[in-house]
Chain A
Amino acid sequence: KAGVTQTPRYLIKTRGQQVTLSCSPISGHRSVSWYQQTPGQGLQFLFEYFSETQRNKGNFPGRFSGRQFSNSRSEMNVSTLELGDSALYLCASSFEGNSYNEQFFGPGTRLTVL
């Protein structure tokens, strides 16, 4: 079974631009969560989607948004990029999304904002 895939793996943008990152969960998984990892703040939860609905949201500004499609694939978007948005963005999928299934993480997208 293929693991969680994320595209692109690396991305360079400039301040003020917007970016869209994609995540394909493991086949059959319906829950997708997104995390941001920076050296200063560590791994922080962004949001979680289950059956195309956002179920949980972390403490990030409205510039960070996401969505999930009917095939469970998910995208996250960051608008008006800031230098501080440079980070590794990770997505994770789980089967039932019932909080006791393990989450499987993808390799991440490394975003650099210049």
Chain B
Amino acid sequence: DAKTTQPPSMDCAEGRAANLPCNHSTISGNEYVYWYRQIHSQGPQYIIHGLKNNETNEMASLIITEDRKSSTLILPHATLRDTAVYYCIVRQGGSEKLVFGKGTKLTVNP
């Protein structure tokens, strides 16, 4: 079973920041938080990952709380092309296996 909990859906206005929350209260010390997204019927796309520090790349920022029990993915300026299902995943140590939950369906509205 997935170790994460996400809201099933969210809406965001185009050009505004999209903040997607994720709870992972049972995360272990050596487990990373990964974010992927899947645009309709395509393969999932890697976005970002982190352990305990905040991370930023060209796509998004990842904010992890100090107790590591939750995190937030931030898309700073959402566009219509960011409409997708976003998956927050806790990556089990020593394994390539990704356990996907149901994710959050983000709809960016014009």
Interface residues of A, Cβ cutoff 8 Å to B? 4, 31, 33, 35, 42-45, 48, 50, 55-56, 58, 88, 90, 92, 94, 97, 99-100, 102-108, 110
Contacts and interface: CB of A to CB of B under 8 A. Distances in A.
Contacts of A42: 100-102
A105 B97 contact: no
A44 B2 CA distance: 10
Nearest to A57: B97
B43 A106 contact: yes
Contacts of A110: 41
Interface residues of B, number: 22
B93 A99 contact: yes
A111 to B, nearest CB: 13
A48 B97 contact: yes
Contacts of B29: none
A48 B95 CA distance: 9
Contact of B99 (A4, A45, A48, A55): A45
B21 interface: no
Nearest to A3: B43
Contacts of B96: 31, 33, 48, 50, 55-56, 94, 97, 99, 103
A99 B44 contact: no
Contacts of B42: 107-108
Contacts of A97: 96
